[in-house]
Amino acid sequence: MKAATRVLGIETSCDETGVAIYDTERGLLSHALHSQIALHGAYGGVVPELASRDHVRRIVPLIHEALREGATDWSAIAAIAYTEGPGLAGALLVGASVANALAAALGIAAIGVHHLEGHLLSPLLAPERPAFPFVALLVSGGHTQLLEVQEIGRYALLGDTLDDAAGEAFDKTAQLLGLGYPGGPALAALATEGRAGRIRLPRPLLHSGNLDFSFAGLKTAVLTAARQGADTREKRADLAAEFEQAVVDVLVSKCLRALEATGHRQLVVAGGVGANHHLRRDLDAAAGRTGARVYYPPLALCTDNGAMIALVGALRLAAGLEPMTAPSGVDRDASRARSGAFGVRPRWPLAEVGKLS
């Protein structure tokens, strides 16, 4: 029998400090998280310098919490996984430094993980897991992509956004409607008070015949509609509902097309926008009609967290995609020779990880 692999994962790419422990036999053992939403709220968006400093403050206590709750001591940890990119450079550096220092001290590997690979595979953290291969819809603040996930480390890009990401469109539209940060959940909450269809917005690229997306025009259409009259809360709620419906209609339609094109019958939805209830409801219904099944990460793990980073580290290690031991070790000469051996990649296309075709 193959031995279990247990990995500690650290996420610090943006405004959440996350630390978790994942075991390939027993699953997620612990998951500690600190969200900086309250810290950045007053500024209407993430302030990078404040984010970095808060990661510094939170990370060590969170590591202790994850070890305690996972009833794990360092001797059981096979590797430290951390988000190497993409994200805010200063924020990423906090996690990368801590992970590499720990790994060097323990003589185990530090595994730099791509943040989107974490989101992509996060539905594997749910009790009902999809099996490879599947189609994945990645909908976050920075990305809107459809991918074919053949196996761990093998991803093919099927479609991408030509401009704004879906989450970005939610955030910008929320701002237009005078809602706070983060915009997605605030806009979704307002939408429940309104009715879609009273104000009509476009469904960009719905009939484009391919799997690409475009959301910048939708945001402009909201701006135009808002200028024509969004003076009451009722009208703003109707606009929010129609905006949400427009995004959901496009996402659902392209997901069905991707399932049809690949012949797969499993769809995985990952990234912050995957927390949207309306999207989940319409996607489940539409996929159900075609005999396909949709898988989501647990709701708490849709947004950024350490669990998905620990998961990717453990799966990559178990699949032999990563070395078991620290490259620098504790040997003084070797570590000097490799000084600067770790870094972060604020901009890092997923294509460089997963042999995207």
Residue 126 or 341 having the CB closest to ligand KG4: 126
Q: Minimum distance between the CB of residue 241 and ligand KG4, rounded to whole angstroms? A: 13
Residue 159 or 297 having the CB closest to Zn ion: 297
Contact residues for Zn ion, defined by CB under 5 A: 140, 304
Question: Which of positions 184-213 make contact with ligand KG4 (CB under 6 A)?
Answer: 184-185, 188
Whole-angstrom distance, CA of residue 76 vs CA of residue 24 = 13
Count of residues of this chain found to bind ligand KG4 when the rule CB under 6 A is applied: 19
Whole-angstrom distance, CA of residue 348 vs CA of residue 130 = 26
251 binds ligand KG4 (CB under 6 A): no
**DSSP characters over 95-164:** HHHHHHHHHHHHT-EEEEEEHHHHHHHGGGGSSS---SSEEEEEESSS-EEEEEEEETTEEEEEEEBSSS
The entry of Zn ion, ligand KG4, none that residue 70 binds, CB within 5 to 8 Å by partner kind: none
Residue 102 or 182 having the CB closest to ligand KG4: 182
272 binds ligand KG4 (CB under 6 A): yes
Residue 141 or 194 having the CB closest to ligand KG4: 141
**Exposure string for 290-308, b = 16+ CB within 10 A, e = fewer:** eebebbbbeeebbbbbbbb
Q: Which range of residues in 33-41, 136-144, 255-263, 321-329 is near ligand KG4 by CB under 6 A? A: 136-144
Q: Minimum distance between the CB of residue 16 and ligand KG4, rounded to whole angstroms? A: 7
Q: Which range of residues in 34-42, 125-133, 167-175, 221-229 is near ligand KG4 by CB under 6 A? A: 167-175
275 binds ligand KG4 (CB under 6 A): yes
Q: How far is CA 355 from CA 21, 55, 149, in A?
A: 27, 32, 11
Q: Minimum distance between the CB of residue 33 and ligand KG4, rounded to whole angstroms? A: 11
What sign results for the dihedral spanned by CA atoms 225, 228, 231, 232? negative
167 binds ligand KG4 (CB under 6 A): yes
Whole-angstrom distance, CA of residue 102 vs CA of residue 79 = 9
Q: Minimum distance between the CB of residue 96 and Zn ion, rounded to whole angstroms? A: 16
Angle between helices 183-191 and 277-289 (to 10 degrees): 70
Lateral strand order in the sheet of 109-114: 27-35, 16-23, 6-11, 79-85, 109-114
Residues that bind ligand KG4 (CB under 6 A): 119, 140-142, 167, 170-171, 182-185, 188, 271-273, 275-276, 303-304
